[in-house]
Amino acid sequence: MARDCQCQCATLQPDEWVKGKLVGSGSFGTVHLAMNKATGGLFVVKSAQSGAGLKALENEAKILQSLNSQYVVHCIGRDMLRGSNGGHKLNVFMEYMAGGSLSDVAEKFGGVIEEEVIRLYTREILHGLKYLHENGIVHCDIKCKNVLLGSSGNVKLADFGCAKRNNEIKAIEGISGSWNSIGGTPLWMAPEVLRNEGLDFASDIWSLGCTVIEMATGRPPWSEEISNPKAAVLKIACSNERPQFPTQLSEDGEDFLAKCLERDPQKRWTSEELLNHPFVSENSMRMHTRKEHICSPASILDIGNYDSDDSDVSESSNLDEFPSKNPFSRCCSEINETTRGEQAESDLASSEIWVTVRSGGSL
């Protein structure tokens, strides 16, 4: 189905689609909502017209057009136009994911995500990583902002601007200054990558562990070091420490993180191994769901377990009043205020302060 969309959008001329509101921007360029005039179908267009942003977008389009997985966002076409400054402007058309990123989702539901939902999302991220790794691709920038949510609750990996193929990695290994060829966001990057000792599939697994921490806490990993980028990078690269595990995680969750955040990449579990871990395995998730949902109601008025239509519940009702209906934080009311400040810290972790570090600038 996605390939049918590709055929429709790949040949779109500038007068055949209309650009809508801005939905994202960064050092790479911009992302706008767009509409196909002939079909009314929605998609997004990612645009860049110079320098590193154009190079990253070209890399992303090339990789995405070679992939076809339900766990990876689909590239549905591209065009190259003359930019306003006389240079070239690349537009890459991608499928529209209505739920936004996992960062957006967590923010809308109180700042953090419930473990039951983290298990579901993590399993789908692992399927995406398994597919990429089987095809010789390292994503290099796994984090909540680069995982998108569909309207049905499915998640897909996105933002492949930093991604590398295995043969590219081997080609740059051992080359002086090869750090400049490696991208990512430092607080999510594996120690060996920051030390410029190698980049492989295990690096994505470390970043996945950091992403689970991000989902569970609403904050970046290593958040205690966020005000000092140099200290954070040195701590990740050169200490024997791991980021602090969320205290509310189950034993399975903590063990899963330990398998992801093993400092020795040779001992880190693979995506295939992790898919069989009790934290995300189908059998254990099924049992966990039963424990959460199949229980006797305290009374016939127990709204958390009473299956009825919601006709008597106002659309404007506060989600905090019905915490068992909310798949995310059970303590929304307590953290709504604090997450405003934490969001600023989260933005800092992915801000231009970090772009300099990740692009090979001096520390």
Q: Cα separation of 349 and 26, whole Å?
A: 13
Side-chain half-sphere CA neighbours of 170 within 13 A: 5
Query: Using one digit for the tens of pLDDT, what is the confidence trace for 233-250?
Result: 999 999 999 999 999 999
| Nearest of 178, 199, 181 to residue 189 by alpha carbon | 199
**Of these residues, 4, 15, 141, 310, which one is catalytic?**
141
Domain shared by 213 and 121, yes or no: yes
Does a structural domain hold residue 329?
Answer: no
Q: Cα separation of 44 and 5, whole Å?
A: 13
Side-chain half-sphere CA neighbours of 112 within 13 A: 25
Q: Cα separation of 139 and 129, whole Å?
A: 8
Other C-beta atoms within 10 Å of 216: how many?
A: 22
Domain shared by 131 and 75, yes or no: no
pLDDT exceeds 60 at position 215: yes
Domain shared by 134 and 244, yes or no: yes
**pTM of the predicted protein model:** 0.76
| 46 known ligand binder | yes
Does a structural domain hold residue 305?
Answer: no
pLDDT exceeds 60 at position 224: yes
Residues paired with 91 in a beta bridge: 47, 79
Q: What pLDDT sits at residue 11?
A: 60
Domain assignment of residue 255, given as a range: 102-169+182-282
In Å, what is the CA distance from 35 to each residue of 9, 17, 25, 58, 89?
10, 6, 19, 22, 19
pLDDT exceeds 80 at position 45: yes
pLDDT band at 343 (very low <50, low <70, confident <90, very high): very low
Q: Cα separation of 30 and 221, whole Å?
A: 26
pLDDT exceeds 60 at position 303: no
Domain shared by 90 and 230, yes or no: no
Average of pLDDT values for 300-317? Answer: 37
What's the number of domains the chain is made of?
2
The domain boundary, picked from 251, 282, 313, lies at 282
Average of pLDDT values for 61-72? Answer: 96
Residue 136, H or E segment? none
CB 60 within 8 A of CB 163: yes
The pairs formed by 255-263 with CB atoms below 8 angstroms and a separation of 24 or more are 255/279, 256/122, 256/209, 256/212, 256/280, 257/209, 257/212, 257/213, 260/205, 260/206, 260/208, 260/209, 260/212, 261/206, 261/209, 261/210, 263/191
Residue 260, H or E segment? helix 251-260
Burial (CB count <10 Å: 0-12, 13-18, 19+), residue 26? middle
Domain shared by 109 and 149, yes or no: yes
The domain boundary, picked from 230, 251, 282, lies at 282
Domain shared by 108 and 257, yes or no: yes
Does a structural domain hold residue 73?
Answer: yes
Does a structural domain hold residue 157?
Answer: yes
Domain containing residue 152: CATH number: 1.10.510.10
Q: Bigger pLDDT: 292 or 273? A: 273
Q: Cα separation of 104 and 78, whole Å?
A: 26
Query: Using one digit for the tens of pLDDT, what is the confidence trace for 178-194?
Result: 555 678 999 999 999 99
Catalytic: 159? no
The domain boundary, picked from 249, 282, 315, lies at 282
Domain shared by 149 and 241, yes or no: yes
Return the percentage of the chain with pLDDT > 90, whole number. Answer: 55
Domain shared by 202 and 246, yes or no: yes
Q: What pLDDT sits at residue 181?
A: 61
CB 74 within 8 A of CB 2: yes
Domain shared by 11 and 149, yes or no: no
